[in-house]
Each structure stands twice: as structure tokens, then as C-alpha cells.
Structure 1
Amino acid sequence: MDGLVISWIGALAGLALAIILILRKLNPVYALFLGAIVGALLGGANLVQTVDVLVSGTQSVMGTVLRVLAAGVLAGVMMESGAAETIAQSIVRKFGGSKAILALALATMIITAVGVFIPVAVLIVAPIALSVGNKMGVSKLALLVALSGGGKAGNIISPNPNTIAAARGFNLELSHVMLAGFVPAVCGLIVAVLLASMLKNKGVMVTDQEADNGDTDTSHYPPLGKAIVAPLVAVILLMINPIGSITGIGFLSTFKVDAMYILPIAGIIGMLAMGQARNIVKYTTAGLNKMTATVLILIGAGGIAGLISASDLSVQVVALIEASGISGTFLAPISGILMAAATASTSTGVILATGSFGEAILNMGTAPLAAAVMVHTGATVIDSLPQGNYFHVTADSMKMSIKQRMGVVPYEVMVGGTMTIVATIMYGFLL
């Protein structure tokens, strides 16, 4: 593959084909691979070079894949043990009915932030939301805006695949990217709560039958004190290095243990604290199964990222930005927005944006941490479209029709857009 430069036209054609195939319901992994193959061939590569492009691209995401698989241990423990449900219910009970919308958004944010996938976090909190919405007269539209907005906020400060991809894409520590997303996340949470509060009387209300479906036997769930052990250990271990860097404490700043070790260790410690050591095989297997689909999509995204990286598309984009007079800083959030919109996936959008435009973003003078945060928040803006599974999972969880679910998308864009604007101002212009 030495000296091979694929035409940007071929790269765009391959990306467009992949998007069309995803929209036509072809498995996203095959759609991404097929787009990469066709794009490479159209761009001037021969059959052998095309294979090299795909192999190179998929190899570039293996570091992310390893860390995502490791995160499966923590995710499996939190989901299978009932710890995530315990945390969510405790938050809602603590805030009470008068602050129901804030409680639901905060619960989803925290559940996502501790390592649970955002679709699963919404599934966990949805039954509680339906019950609360029925009692308090809050519409489904407002409930899902709160849940999805809170989940998006938690997603940019979590050890989830999207954050791992953002960190690895710019060779950063996971904890640094998580910490840098905190202020944008808080702003996203505030906007989600405000929007949901404004919409609580708009749209379809929750029926008694739907609320009854939210009744769940919680007798086997762990108490809150034990449920928070796993995420607390993970957060403490992940934050040691950045806290040391900020405070100038030498022995803390030299603590550089990769998330690949920290996340499984935290999951196992949490499992032991809950007295569930006998379920280690069950929980880790469930976590691995949850990660499998994401890992496959990441590999597919790596293939098409390899195509774009081997092309001169980034050169053309940089030239276009320079000619237009727009600040090169905007390339980072724009790439995240476009790639996530194309794939309807935050994690896939991040891996495509970092793999395809990462070098160009850095060449524009953007610092790696700033680039990671802006790409990451950008990927939360238009990632909830019908070609992705999140759209349908959340619609089913809230007993909404496709039309009703589409009505939530503009408000999700506002939440993601707020986080992106805050991140861009903070890291692109102020810091």
C-alpha cells in the first residue's frame, strides 16, 4: 500500500454507498465493508491494495476493541446484578415527584456515566419513567426528552465505547476525555430538563396499562451502598491520574493504569461487594454479549476509516475550509456531527471521524484533547435517527409509535447541539 493515494471521489462514493446500504437495512458491518471495498476500487486501488486498505483500517481500531471488550465486565455486572436499577430508583425516590423530570434525566445520566450503554440505560429507567409520568401527568415526549437528554450527557463522561474511541483516536487517556466532557455534559443535562419541563403537557400521555407494565420486582436488587461500589471504584481509579496532573502531585500523576485493566477490576470488586462472586461467569458472559455488536460495528467502521485515511479526502476538506475562511477548529465538531448522523451511532460516528479526519484536525492546529471532546460531543447531535438501533429501542421502551419517536429527535439535537457548542467554545477558543 506504499504510495497509494485513493481519490477523494472514491472515498466519498464508498461512504455514501455504506450509508445508503445501512438505510436499506443491510447489516451495518457488511454495509461499511462493502462501501470500503467499492470506494477503494473506484478510487484507483486494485484488488490487493483494497484488501490492504481494509486490513490497515481494521487494525487501527483494535486498541479500541480491546478496551470495549474489557468494559463489558463492568457493564455486565451493573446490568445483570440489578445495580443499575437500584441506582436509578434511588435517585428518583430521593428527588420525589415534584422534581420528577430532573430525577429521571439525572438517573439516566448517572447510569450511562457509570458504564451502561445509553440504549440499555433508557431501557432501565423507562419503566420508572412511565409510572412517574402516569402519576404526575407528564407526556411521553417530555419523558423521553429527559431520558435521552440525560443519557447523552452521561454518555460523554462515561467509559463507554464512544468515549474509548474518542480517547484512542487522539492517543489520550480515557480519564482525561471523560473529565473534559464534564462541563458540556452538565449543560446538556440542564437543557434536557428545561426542554422536558416545557413539553410535559405536550403530546401523548401515559395510560394506566402502560404504567402497570412498569411494575418490577426489586426484591433481588442489591442495596444502594453495594450497588455503587463498582462505578465508584472505576471512577476513583480513572481519576487518579488527571487529579494528579491538575494538582501537581507527582505519585498520582505517574499512576497510568489503562482502562483495559481498571474497568474489569472495578466490575469484579463490585461483584464481590454485592456477594455475587458465584455469578462471575454469568455476568461477564452477559457483558461480552452486550459488547459484541458494538465491536463488530467498530471493526466495520475501521474498514471504511481505512479507506478515507488512504484517500486525499482530508486534504480536500482542509483546503475547502481554508478557502472558505472558516476556522479550522470547526472541523472537529462538524466531522463528529456528520459521521454520527450518517451511521446513527455515537460510537461509530466517533471512530469514523477520528480515523478519517483526526490527522487533518490536528494539522489545523487543534490540540488532541480539544479535538477529542469536540468530535465526541459533535457525535451526540444527530445520532438518534431511524437507521440506528437506539431510535427503535427507545421507541419500544416508551411505548411510542415511529411518528411519536421522530418528534423527539429535534429536542435531542438541541441537547447534543448545546454540548457541542459549549465544548467548542471552551476547548476550541477559550482554553
Structure 2
Amino acid sequence: MENITVSWIGAVIGIIIAVVLIMKKMNPLYSLAFGAIIGSLLGGANLSETVTILVSGTQSVMGTVVRVLAAGIFAGIMMESGAAIAIARTIVAKMGVKFAIVALAIATMVITGVGVFIPVAVLIVSPIAIEIGKETGISKLALLLAMSGGGKAGNIISPNPNTIAAAGGFDVELSSVMMFGFVPALVGLVMAILLASLIKGKGPKVTAKDYQEEDENLTYPSFAKSIVAPIIAIILLMVGPIGSLLGIQVLANISIDSLYVLPIAGVIGLVAMKQKKEMLNYMTSGLNRMTPTILVLIGAGTIGGVITASDLSTQVVAFINNSGVSGTLLAPLSGILMGAATASTSTGVILASGSFGQAILEMGVVPIAAAVMVHTGATVIDHLPHGTYFHVTGDSMNLSMKERFRIVGYETLVGLSMTIVATLLYGF
């Protein structure tokens, strides 16, 4: 691999081909792999060298893949056990109808923050939102905006695949990415609440066809038992970073990888909820949910191999230096562009860090700052219609495509607020 060099033009063409195919609804794995093959060949590699480049690229993402598999165990347990629903219902019940929008935003933020995928988090909270809409008359647009904005805030501080990819892309601790994303997440949460409050009277209201009576036979674990797994995970992940911040060397030296933390926390939580007999079922469900993300990671690895074999990062640095634009802005802008192109936070982070990561670091940006800026940037326009999130969340509130489109701009403002804060705090 050391002696294989391809033209940066080929790498760029490969990226463009991959993005276009993704937007055309082709499977992301095949889109990325096909772009990588064409990019390598156009960049000057022969057939044999192209295979070597692709294999080398996929090998580079295996560390992230293993951690995502571990996260699947935790996520499966939180979702299938009913713990996530129990946490959401408790938050909304405690805050009451008066603070309904705040409660929905916080509930979705917390559910996403503890490791549940953002579209699944919205699906979990949406029945509660519909109940609130029926009782208060708040529009479905405002309710969905509160959940979506809260989910975006929770997504940048969670042990989800996107955060794992951001950490892996810049070789920093997952816990550090989560911790450094906390302040931007709070800003995003506040922005979501404010914007949802502004439009609570606009758009369609909840009607009888939206409301479904809940099965009375369904039971959920208590709130106290439901939060055992998330609390253990957070404590174990944060021991080292907190020790470093406080200057306590004993704690700072404790570094437990998410590969261990998430499965251990999930299993302990399952025992606390007295559902250990379901362990294999929940783990299987979680791993199945992670399969699409893992395939995207492998595909991103192939295109990453092409970029690594090219001089693209050198060309990008030279262009930025000649243009006079701050190199720091490359991090959030790459996240925004890739997130928009793929309509996915995790895929956007993977492509941004793989395509521009080296160039960002060569501009003098600290790795953790680069990771957080790319990560928040990927949340700005990751909710477009060529991705699944747009449709899943719209369907959760029974919105037409035209109605769902009405809050896209507001969601963008939520992501943008987090990106601006992250850039100001860590980029400059």
C-alpha cells in the first residue's frame, strides 16, 4: 500500500460518484465501494492495486466496526426491554402538560443520549407526543420539531455509531467526544424548545386518526431500574476524562474502552430490570439494528482507502492556505456537506472524517476539536428526504411529505446552532 499512489482528482471523482449514487437511493455500501473502485482506476491504479487499496481501507475501520457492534448490545437492551420508553414517560409525566414541549425535547434528548438511535428515539416518544397534542392542541409540527431537535442534541453526546465514528475518525476517546459535545447539545436543546414554542399553533393538529389506545397489557420497568444501564455506562466512560479535568491522576489513568463498557452496562441493567432471560433476544435485536450502519462503515472504509492513497489532503490544505479562509472552518463545513449529501449523521461523519480528516489536522486543528466540529456539522442538514430519518419521523406523527418539509428549516437551525457553538468553543 505504501508504494501505491493515486491522483487526488480520482479520489474526488470517486467521492462524487458515491454521493450521487447514495442520493439516487442505491445501497450506501455499494455506492461507496463503486465510487472507490472508479476513483482508484481513474486515479491511476491498476485492477490489482485497486483491490489492495480497498482492502486496506476496510481494515482501517475495523476498530470502529467492533465498537459499533458492542454499542448494538447496549442499544438493543435499552429498546427491547422497555427501558427507553419508561425513561421517556417518566420525564414527560414529571414535567407535566404545562411544559409539554420542554418535556418532549428533553425526553428525546435523554433517550438518544443513552444510546438509542435518533429515529427510534422519535418513534418511542411520538405516541406520548400525540397524547399531549390531543390534550393541549399543540400542532404536530411543533411536537415533531421538539422531538427532532432534542434528538439531535442527544445524538452528539451519545455512544451511538455517529459518535463512535467521530472518535475513531480522529483517534480520540469516545467519552471525550461525548463530553465536549455537551455544551453545544444544551444550546441545541434550548433552540429546539424555542423554535417549537414559536410554531406550536401552526400546522395540523392531532386528530382521532392519529390517536391509538395503548395496549393495557404492556408493562414497562420502573424508572429507577431503567436508568441503571445508562448511569453505569456514563460513569465508566467518563471516569478518565473527569479525572483529567480535575487533575486527579489516579482517575485520569483509568481508561475503559466503549467496547467493554457498553455491553457490561447493558447486561447489568438487564439484570436490574429482572429480564436476564431475554438477554440473547435483546442482543440479537440490537446487533440486527446495527447491520446497516456497519455496512456503511465498510463502504466508507473503501473510499477512505482511496483518499489515503491520494494526495487529496495536501491539495485541500494548499487551497485553503491560498484562499485565506480559516482552516478551522473545514471541519464543520465538511460535516455539513457530507451530512447533507448522505442525509445521515453517521454516514456524514464517516465520509467527512475519512475525506477531510487528515487535511483538517494538517491545518493545526486539535483532534478532539476536529471530531466535535465535524460531528455537530453533520447534524445541520442530515434530515433531508433522500434519507430515512425524514420519512420515519414524518410517519411517526402522520404527516404528509409537504407537512414534514415545513420544519426542515427549523431543524437546520438547531443543528447550525450546535455547530456554531462547537466551532467558537473549540475551533478558535
Q: Determine if the TM-score, normalized by the shorter chain, exceeds 0.5.
A: yes
Shift of 1:133: 1.3
One-letter amino acid matched to 1:319: A
| Cα distance per residue 1:310-364 (max 9 Å; x no partner) | 2222222222211111111111111111111111111111111112211111111
1:301 matched to 2:300? The reply is yes
Aligned counterpart, 2:224? 225
Specify the alignment match of 2:233 in structure 1: 234
Superposed CA deviations along residues 138-190 of structure 1, whole A, max 9, x for unmatched, are: 11211111111000000000000111111111111111110000000000000
1:216 Cα offset (Å): 4.8
Larger mean Cα displacement after TM superposition, 377-386 or 104-113? 377-386
- Deviation string 1:346-385 (CA, Å, 9 cap, x unpaired) is 1111111112211111111111111111011011111111
1:424 is displaced (CA, Å) by 0.2
In the aligned structure 1, how far is the partner of 2:211 from the partner of 2:320?
A: 51
Whether the aligned pair in 1 keeps the contact of 2:141 and 2:199 (CA below 8 Å) is yes
1:7-62 superposed Cα distances (whole Å, 9 cap, x missing partner): 22222221221122122221111111111111111121111111112111111111
Matched residue, 2:290: 291
Q: Which moved more, 1:111-120 or 1:129-138?
A: 129-138
- Matched with 2:73 is 73
Tell me if the contact between 1:306 and 1:356 (Cα under 8 Å) persists in the aligned partners. no
Equivalence for 2:426 = 427
- Is 1:160 the counterpart of 2:160? The answer is yes
Which residue does the alignment assign to 2:269?
A: 270
Partner residue in 2 for 1:414: 413
Q: Which residue of 2 aligns with 1:123?
A: 123
Partner of 1:397: 396
Q: Could you tell me which residue of structure 2 aligns to residue 59 of structure 1?
A: 59
Instruction: Report the Cα distance in structure 1 between the residues aligned to 2:225 and 2:347, rounded to whole angstroms.
Output: 33
Q: Does 1:144 align with 2:130?
A: no
Cα contact 1:131–1:212 (8 A) shared by 2: no
Letter in 1 for 2:100: A
Q: State the one-letter code of the partner of 1:324.
A: S
For residues 241-294 of structure 1, the C-alpha deviation after alignment (integer angstroms, 9 at most, x for no partner) is: 111111111221111111100000000000000001111111111111111111
**Structure 2 counterpart of 1:334, one-letter code:** L
Structure 1 residue 395: deviation in Å?
Answer: 1.5
CA contact (8 A) 2:23 2:341 kept: no
Contact 2:233-2:265 at 8 Å conserved across structures: yes
Deviations 1:194-243 (A, max 9, x none): 00000111111111220236x35474210111011010110111111111
Q: 5 Å matches for 1:16-31?
A: 16-31=16-31
- Equivalent residue, structure 2, for 1:88: 88
Contact 1:73–1:263 (8 Å) recurs in 2: yes
Shift of residue 2, structure 1, vs aligned partner: 2.8
Give the equivalent residue in structure 2 for 1:98. Answer: 98
Q: What amino acid maps onto 1:306 in structure 2?
A: G
Give 3-state SS (helix, strand or coil) of 1:209's partner. Answer: coil
Question: In 1, are the aligned partners of 2:126 and 2:397 still within 8 Å (CA)?
Answer: yes
Give yes or no for the alignment of 1:247 onto 2:240: no
Give the Cα separation in 2 of the matches to 1:343 and 1:307. Answer: 19
Greater shift after overlay, 8-17 or 361-370? 8-17
What is the match of residue 176 of structure 1? 176
> For the residues of structure 1 that align with 2:33 and 2:306, how far apart are their CA atoms?
10
Partners of 2:215 and 2:201 in 1: CA distance: 26
C-alpha contact (below 8 Å) 2:101/2:197 kept by paired residues: yes
1:4-19 alignment to 2 at 5 Å? 4-19=4-19
- Tell me the equivalent position of 2:337: 338
For 2:414 and 2:368, the matched residues in 1 are separated by 22
| One-letter amino acid of the counterpart of residue 13, structure 1 | I
Q: Following TM superposition, by how much is the alpha carbon of 1:127 offset from its aligned partner in structure 2, in angstroms?
A: 0.9
Which whole-Å CA distance do the structure 1 matches of 2:351 and 2:304 have between them? 5
One-letter identity of the residue aligned with 1:373: V
Amino acid in the other structure paired with 1:159: P
- Give the letter aligned to residue 315 of structure 1: T
Tell me, yes or no, if the aligned pair for 1:140 and 1:398 is still in contact at 8 Å. yes
Q: 1:93 to 1:34 in 2, by over 3 A?
A: same
CA contact (8 A) 1:108 1:125 kept: yes
What is the RMSD computed on CA atoms of the aligned residues? 1.2
Residue 172 of structure 1 aligns to a residue whose secondary structure is coil
Deviations 1:93-148 (A, max 9, x none): 01111110000000000000000011110110011111111211111211111111
- Residue 5 of structure 1 deviates from its aligned partner by 2.8
Q: Deviations over 1:377-397 (max 9, x none)?
A: 011111111221111111111
- Give the match's secondary structure for 1:45: coil
Please, which moves more after superposition, 149-158 or 398-407?
398-407
Partner of 1:211, secondary structure, is: coil
1:10 partner letter: G
> What is the aligned partner in structure 1 of residue 362 from structure 2?
363
Counterpart CA distance in 1 for 2:217 and 2:138 is 24
In structure 2, do the counterparts of structure 1 residues 337 and 248 end up closer, same or farther at CA, with 3 Å as the change threshold? Answer: same
Q: Which one-letter code corresponds to 1:179 in the other structure?
A: M
SS at structure 1 position matched to 2:210? helix
d(CA) in 2 for partners of 1:370 and 1:314? Answer: 18
d(CA) in 2 for partners of 1:218, 1:23: 42
| TM-score normalised by length of structure 1 | 0.97
With normalisation by structure 2, the TM-score equals 0.98
Aligned letter for 1:204?
P
SS at match of 1:205: coil
SS at match of 1:405: helix
Determine the C-alpha separation between the residues in 1 that align with 2:105 and 2:344. Answer: 20
